[in-house]
Structure 1
Amino acid sequence: MVKRIIYPPMWMVFGVCAIFAFNEFYPGPRFTSQASQLLGGAILLAGLAMLVVAGGLFKRAGTDLIPFRNVSALVTTGVYRFTRNPMYLGMAAILLGVAVTVGSSLALLVPPLFMAIVEWRYIRPEEALLQDLFPEDYPAYRARVRRWL
């Protein structure tokens, strides 16, 4: 198994830094308005709420929040009924909210890049692990709930 030193929240922090770098140095066309700031703030808060709720469900199930560590339960309730990766989706929403709030069109490249990195480094290996740990339950869950939305 690949050793992962940089965990997903750090990738989100890198993404926020990239958004502010784009905003400062390479903003591209701007779209700043009070409406975009309110929309960005709402997206950011929704992402944060999803992250907290999903993390709480993991804690309640007694499984670790750190990827690949102490996986003891397959969580399929709450927000996990709508997306298999609500924590990663919440982080992507936070990045999208920040990008919309700053109003830099090139900053909008960061959330999909974050999603690609997370899918490649974490989600696909996690799916293989869950398949091995829960050979009966995970395929059924995977068949009824999408990876992202």
Structure 2
Amino acid sequence: MRRLDLPPVWLLLFALAVLVLSRLDPWSLRLEGAAVDLAAGLLIGGGALLVAVAVVQMRQARTAVLPRREAAHLVTNGVFGRSRNPIYLGFVMLLLGWVLRLGSAPALALVPLYAWVIERRFIRPEEEALARRFPQAFARYREATRRWL
């Protein structure tokens, strides 16, 4: 079961919940229009790009991409210079874009819930591990770079 406890799996579960909620919306609260469609596309495209760039940077640094694996290096440049968690930020962008694409106003509530789950299950333990592995460097990084944006 622990193998399935990964951020992309949580993203998929929340995306399915958004789909179900958008189909069962008893209030018919819809998000519609060209601006919503544009925002959805930008969030989905931007989120996917952010995840891809962050993964490439981690691979170039030869450090662990998967959660719960020990990091060989602390990556602080590139997209990691703007956010300590660009992959998770990208996932949140993807989920928000999906909500907008489906036009489900009630499903908007699932986006902060997803961010909360990810922060509790993955971000905090990862940051604790990085603080143990790279105490001084991570302290400086945490002070200089925000967790999300």
Q: TM-score, normalised by structure 2?
A: 0.94
Q: Deviations over 1:64-105 (max 9, x none)?
A: 211121410100011101100000000000000010111110
Structure-to-structure mapping, 1:1-149, within 5 angstroms: 5-26=4-25, 28=27, 29-149=29-149
Task: After TM superposition, give the deviation of residue 34 of structure 1 in Å.
Answer: 2.7
Number of residues of Structure 1 aligned to a counterpart in Structure 2:
147
Task: After TM superposition, give the deviation of residue 20 of structure 1 in Å.
Answer: 0.5
Cα RMSD between the aligned structures? 1.3
Taking only the aligned residue pairs, the percentage that are identical comes to 36
CA distance in 1 between partners of 2:110 and 2:79 (Å): 24
Which letter maps to 1:50? Answer: L
Structure 1 unmatched runs, 5+: none
CA distance in 2 between partners of 1:81 and 1:93 (Å): 18
Where 1:136 maps in the other structure, the secondary structure is: helix
CA distance in 2 between partners of 1:48 and 1:114 (Å): 17
Task: After TM superposition, give the deviation of residue 111 of structure 1 in Å.
Answer: 1.5
Where 2:48 maps in the other structure, the secondary structure is: helix
Runs of 4+ in 1 over 6 A off after TM superposition: none
Which letter maps to 1:59? Answer: R
CA distance in 2 between partners of 1:95 and 1:107 (Å): 10
CA distance in 1 between partners of 2:59 and 2:46 (Å): 20
Structure 2 unmatched runs, 5+: none
Q: TM-score, normalised by structure 1?
A: 0.94
Task: After TM superposition, give the deviation of residue 5 of structure 1 in Å.
Answer: 4.0
CA distance in 2 between partners of 1:68 and 1:134 (Å): 15
Q: Deviations over 1:14-63 (max 9, x none)?
A: 11101101110126411212321121111111000000000111100101
